[in-house]
Amino acid sequence: MYILILSYKKALSEVENHLDAHKNYLDKNYNLGNFIVSGRRNPRIGGIIFCRAENIEQVQVLIKEDPFYKYEIADYEIIEFEPTKYIEGFDLFL
């Protein structure tokens, strides 16, 4: 599992211009089972995505499809994460 931390590097007006396309990207990856949860950071300086992927290379390919990446709206930090303790039922997402 990977945690993707997005940090905006453009003004919120630019973020808003690409938000619908970013939401479509998220929807596609939820439907494919790549993403588990996502949301805005508070304060609104970026976002977080929990991602299922076989390896870091697969994550990097997924990121390149995001309009926020294509249009240089956000920087991405990728953290590999191995859940070892979790609530019952979470293992369905591993």
* Residue 17 banded pLDDT, cuts 50, 70, 90: very high
Q: Is residue 94 part of a domain?
A: no
Q: Is residue 87 part of a domain?
A: no
pLDDT at 51 over 80: yes
Q: In this predicted model, what pLDDT tens digit does every residue of 40-49 receive, in sequence order?
A: 999 999 999 9
From CA 87, how far away is CA 67, in angstroms rounded? 33
Q: Is residue 40 part of a domain?
A: yes
Q: For the chain, what is the domain count? A: 1
Residue 47 near residue 38 (C-beta atoms within 8 A)? yes
Q: Is residue 36 part of a domain?
A: yes
